[in-house]
A and B are shown apart, each in its own frame.
Chain A
Amino acid sequence: MISVKNLSKHYGSLVAVDDLTLEVPKGELFCFLGPNGAGKTTTIKLMTGLLRPRTGTIRICDIDIVQDPVTAKLKMGYIPDMPYLYDRLTTTEFFRFTGEIYNLSHDLVEAQLEEQFNTFSLNDYRNVLVKDLSHGLRQRLVYAATFLHDPEVLFIDEPLVGLDPYTIRLIKDLLIERTRSGMTIFLTTHILALAEDVADRIGIIMKGKVVALGPLEQLTAEAGGKDLEEVFLKLTAEQYEQPERQPGRHEVTKSM
């Protein structure tokens, strides 16, 4: 479903993604972990076509996102950590608008409106403008609108930021249920417990390179940790180690 080969992205001298190769099969929930600035969001932006890779290929449902972005986008959905919503639309207007940009039939959109608004408990907010919604309600609306066209592949950047326990539970259950029904989900998160709970496979990225890849059991066995937190800290410790400071040209070293 998601096939990434030799992907790299540079920002000037900064290598954000370095020769990344990854396969995520149909129906898998893949969690992408890494310290801040490791390249998670850049990878997800490359996969969704927001950034152009320096080298490598990305295929979504066997469609090259660079060569044929529109067809690829019809098959996928993307939920960023701080999604953009039209503040001056009501929740139902935003939902219907999403249906129209995916060219869905009116009847399907209306049927989905009932179903998704029930699932995400948005019925009381049907005529409320998006600008008047809380962060949690906005996230619920984004999920409802993203599931509307039933994407085959779903990218989620930090799915649980700022959500209440009820919504967290709802989304976790939903992600598991959707992968069981064949949806492929690629998500990035800093919440290791979420990865432990829902992921089929986990990838850990550091300085643009994948340093670990596999199911939780395999990672703990290979890295020698008792849980994902230990594995993560062990593998990414290098990122947080301060390099020994060398005396610079302007620094004076005290002579003993």
Chain B
Amino acid sequence: MSITTGLLKKSWWRFRNTGRILREQSPFKVFFVTIFALGFEIGLYFLFLDGFRFIDQLGGAGRLILNHLFALFFMGMGAMLVMSGIVTGYSTIFRSDEIPFLMTHPFTVSRIVVYKYYRSAVYASWSFGFVVIPFVAAYAYFLELGPLFAVWTLLFSLPFLLLCAGVGSVIVLLLVRWSPTGRALKWLCAAIPLVVALLVWSLWQDAYDPDADVQFTLSKLIPGLRPATNKMVPSWWVATGILSLTRGDVLRGGMYWLLLASTTATLIMLVEWVGSATFVTSWRRVVGSVRRSRHAPVLFPFAERMLRGIGADVRAVALKDVRIFFRDPTQWSQALIFFGLLALYFANLRNFRYHALPDAWRNTITFLNVFSVSAVVCSLGSRFVYPQLSLEGQGFWVIGLSPVKMSRVVRAKFALAVIALLPISTALMLLSGAMLRADWPVRLLAVGLAACISLAVSGLSIGLGAIFLDLRSRNPAAIVSSFGGTLNLVLSLAFMLLTIVPFGLLFHVRINGLIGATGLARSVAVATTWTLALTAITTTLPLRLGARSLAQRDY
């Protein structure tokens, strides 16, 4: 028996036992999650299919886009996988409780790093399947590519996933080893917004280039088209290889697969080499970075002063949560990625020349952006707000024994979630409206909807987090993927649809001239009342039920 066999066997046993744990779960929960996953996949399939049909209707340009869409899709997925690889790489390679166990057993450093890299690749890419399956199915159906297309996609996906996760792991290994600390880190943090601002400004300037030709405009219209069709980019090898094999060009397809596989193998060697050279020092730097400072560490000193007006108990709970959140890089980095990508997209809207479109289109795009912001708010609510109470974990006895009423704890958590989500979501909607030069009523509507969704998602996530409290789990991902977490995401998305769709329908009938100005005003008033009432119920009811559940609970 070898050490590698031991690790592989252990992984298999864990996987098998997960099935056993699932069988012990409530059948209703398993049924609910399965139905939701299937519904999600089928919904995505039809969404992609509709998208392809829409693009195809554009004529020549549409056909051109469709031909490049596969490469574009893999490039986008690759970028997300690398980012995901960085986040999961950090938590899997450096923050895992398993590392001290492995370090005190006879494993070489390179073996530990490579083993952790494989695990990180699995964690970073499990959701890839959820997106790739409906996309590939819709693409193959639309272009009549045949069932082998799925097989070739799988064949190319495996090395591609390892490649992207490998890039993420190498970045993490280098960053942790040589990232600045102390004063240098503060300077770096101060410089990042400046660099981002300069980047946005330069892109803005670029948007007014009068010499743009047709091809340039197409690549501007479809962001990433140029790099996606660059023959040096691995995502291009994946797309071209799959399409070549599907069309029977085995040699060309095989060459691209070998190119991808050999690049991935080289990268794995690089992970092993960088890991061997840096891991031990970096890991000790991460876990042993206890330093005695003459100054007490202070995070947001102004926050304590600002919150003086509220009760000391609520302030204490709120400040504790803020400190814990910002001292855990895996938490704040994910939030930064979520909102950072959206901010970058909105700041770039003029580069896509959407502001030059007719009024109806600009307003529609503004309204569609409410969807993207709301979806991100729902994801953040599920990922960060829902597990807040459960993450108190074994430390909950501190709050449980204190004279703080549970309803106040729930309210403090809710207020904190609103303070975090509301300014960002409304600011993003204002940015989107400004970049698109949308009409003011549309901008106000978009901001109002973002505010309602932020409130409701905060209430729902905190309330359900209290009802489905899990104090045993320390892993946020496990809490998020539990029954309560899934239910929270489903209800948040349902709320989003129930509030946005009525306004969407109004837009639709207005654009098609099916309703007059008076009728529109009345309908908007009805839709607004509906949204406000639904927001009030969705915000307050779960909070009340959650507080009651906490008060009646045994600890």
Tell me whether A and B are bound partners.
Answer: yes
| Chain A interfacial positions (CB closer than 8 Å to B) | 11-14, 48-52, 70-71, 73-74, 78, 80, 83-84, 86, 88-90, 93, 96-97, 99-106, 129
Contact A48 B104 (CB under 8 A): yes
Contact A88 B284 (CB under 8 A): no
A84's contact among B101, B107, B281, by CB below 8 Å, is which?
B101
- Knowing that A70-B106, A100-B6 touch, tell me 14 more A-B residue pairs with CB under 8 angstroms: A11-B289, A50-B103, A74-B106, A84-B98, A84-B101, A86-B10, A89-B17, A101-B105, A101-B106, A102-B106, A104-B1, A106-B1, A129-B17, A129-B21
* A95 nearest CB across to chain B (Å): 11
Contact A97 B10 (CB under 8 A): yes
Q: Does B213 contact A (CB under 8 A)?
A: no
**Chain A residues with CB below 8 A from B21, complex form:** 88, 129
A101's contact among B6, B280, B291, by CB below 8 Å, is which?
B6
Contact B2 A103 (CB under 8 A): yes
Contact B10 A70 (CB under 8 A): no
Q: Can you report 8 residue pairs joining A to B where beta carbons are below 8 Å apart? A: A11-B291, A70-B107, A89-B17, A93-B10, A97-B10, A100-B2, A100-B5, A129-B20
**Chain B residues with CB below 8 A from A99, complex form:** 1, 6
Contact B104 A52 (CB under 8 A): no
Contact residues of B between 1 and 59, Cβ < 8 Å to A: 1-3, 5-7, 9-10, 13-14, 17-18, 20-21
The distance in angstroms between the C-alpha atoms of A99 and B2, with both chains bound, is: 10
Contact A84 B100 (CB under 8 A): yes
Residue of B3, B108, B288 most packed against chain A (CB within 10 A): B288
Contact B17 A103 (CB under 8 A): no
Chain B contact residues: over half helix, strand or loop, or mixed?
A: helix
**Chain A residues with CB below 8 A from B1, complex form:** 99-100, 103-106
* B72 nearest CB across to chain A (Å): 39
**Chain B residues with CB below 8 A from A74, complex form:** 106
Contact B100 A103 (CB under 8 A): no
Contact B288 A11 (CB under 8 A): yes
Q: Does B292 contact A (CB under 8 A)?
A: yes
Contact B6 A73 (CB under 8 A): no
The distance in angstroms between the C-alpha atoms of A10 and B288, with both chains bound, is: 10
The distance in angstroms between the C-alpha atoms of A106 and B1, with both chains bound, is: 7
Q: Does B401 contact A (CB under 8 A)?
A: no
Contact A90 B291 (CB under 8 A): no
Q: How many interface residues does chain B have, given as a range?
A: 20 to 34
B14's contact among A12, A49, A89, by CB below 8 Å, is which?
A89
**Chain A residues with CB below 8 A from B10, complex form:** 86, 89, 93, 97, 100
The distance in angstroms between the C-alpha atoms of A129 and B281, with both chains bound, is: 34
- Smallest Cβ-Cβ distance to A93: which chain B residue: B13
Given A49-B103, A50-B104, A78-B104, A100 contacting B3 (CB threshold 8 A): yes
Residue of A14, A86, A101, A129 most packed against chain B (CB within 10 A): A101
* B358 nearest CB across to chain A (Å): 57
Contact A88 B17 (CB under 8 A): yes
The distance in angstroms between the C-alpha atoms of A105 and B6, with both chains bound, is: 12
A14's contact among B9, B104, B281, B290, by CB below 8 Å, is which?
B290
**Chain A residues with CB below 8 A from B14, complex form:** 86, 88-89
Contact B292 A73 (CB under 8 A): no
Per-residue CB contact flags for chain B residues 82-103 toward chain A (1 = under 8 Å, else 0) read 0000000000000001101101
- Smallest Cβ-Cβ distance to B281: which chain A residue: A52
The distance in angstroms between the C-alpha atoms of A75 and B13, with both chains bound, is: 27
B108's contact among A70, A103, A105, by CB below 8 Å, is which?
A70
B288's contact among A51, A73, A93, A129, by CB below 8 Å, is which?
A51
Per-residue CB contact flags for chain B residues 248-261 toward chain A (1 = under 8 Å, else 0) read 00000000000000
* A112 nearest CB across to chain B (Å): 13
- Smallest Cβ-Cβ distance to A74: which chain B residue: B106
- Smallest Cβ-Cβ distance to A155: which chain B residue: B104
- Smallest Cβ-Cβ distance to B105: which chain A residue: A101
Contact A100 B9 (CB under 8 A): yes
Residue of A13, A80, A96, A100 most packed against chain B (CB within 10 A): A100
- Smallest Cβ-Cβ distance to A97: which chain B residue: B10
* A219 nearest CB across to chain B (Å): 30
Given A11-B290, A73-B106, A101 contacting B97 (CB threshold 8 A): no
